[in-house]
Amino acid sequence: MLKKHLFPLIFLFVTLFSNKIIAQPADDLLSLVGEDKPKKEFVKNAFKSTKVINGHSMEFLSAGTMDFRILHRFGLLDQGYKNFFGLDQASMRMAFDFGLLPNLMAGIGRSTYKKEVDGFIKYAPIRQATGTKGLPLTIAIVSGMTWNTAPWPDPTIHNYNTSRLAYYFQGIFGRKFSESLSLQLSPTLLHRNIVALNTTPNDEYSIGFAGRYKVTKRMAITWDYFYRINGREKNVTFDPISIGIDIETGGHVFQLHVSNCVGMNERAFLDETTSNWLKGGIRFGFNLSRVFQLKSHNE
């Protein structure tokens, strides 16, 4: 009698145990598949700064950080030793940029050139990422404004405060192709409330081309160039072009560059670049960036 009941129990036990043994590897395989599935990771350090040289880059500040920037541009090198090859003359822009979200930042700055105050906001609805649902490029949108605070050229006539304002709107399409190479394209619209001549359009269109090539672990070559589609005055204004070397020194990014621009905000370098690079109209300059952590962040 005992044997009659014991045999079914042994059979049931062996069946359940064997099912557990068979099922275990399957569970392990499923877990391994889940672990090996690449996670979505946003691509960083396409550029080491949120600015290339003059223009915006596809890069963003981390949320809760502030970037204190000093931009310096000297006079023309072709002025010779009388002006110490431009070092006797200089213009400067000081700026504070803030990371609000991983894909949102804003900033404000002030330039000695025309005593302009400028501000901007930059947002990336699409960010380059690898892994599951990764995207091959970053698409960002920038909107900014400049305010000329210099005295009016002719104070005897009625002047409007709105005449001091200019606006720009820009799209950035960028991709980090490798650890060494990053490229971006930046179609830009500049609107000026007032222009010097009736023949000068209030709206000026341009396309920016920029890139970064990493030479060593802490050094990279950067460049940006804006092709002006309209608004260019023949032999008076020229396309802005700059070439530089970025040097990383701990928490600083130090950049040495040459450029034909004197202004360092979008209105200034797009509208008033009056030096011809091909005829020696080059200025030496440097940009210094220092990032401060204002609060902890988790992306």
Of residues 197 and 269, which shows the higher confidence score?
269
For the domain bounded by 41-293, which CATH number is listed? 2.40.160.40
| Domain boundaries of the chain, sorted by first residue | 41-293
Mean pLDDT for the stretch of residues 185-194: 96
- Name the residue among 101, 150, 154 with its Cα closest to residue 123: 101
Q: What percent of the chain shows pLDDT beyond 90?
A: 65
**What mean pLDDT, rounded, does the chain reach?**
86
pLDDT tens profile 131-164 = 888 899 999 999 999 999 999 888 888 888 999 9
Model confidence at 46: pLDDT above 80 = yes
How many other C-beta atoms are found inside a 10 Å radius of the C-beta of residue 254?
14
The pTM (predicted TM-score) of the whole model is 0.83
Model confidence at 41: pLDDT above 80 = yes
Model confidence at 119: pLDDT above 90 = yes
pLDDT band at 287 (very low <50, low <70, confident <90, very high): very high
User: Does residue 273 contact residue 237 with C-beta atoms inside 8 Å?
Assistant: yes
Measure the CA–CA gap between 47 and 101, rounded to whole angstroms: 18
Which pLDDT belongs to residue 219?
Answer: 95
CA atoms within 13 A on the CB side of 215: 9
pLDDT band at 77 (very low <50, low <70, confident <90, very high): confident
Mean pLDDT for the stretch of residues 113-125: 96
Dihedral (CA of 262, 265, 269, 271) sign: negative
User: Does residue 185 contact residue 208 with C-beta atoms inside 8 Å?
Assistant: yes
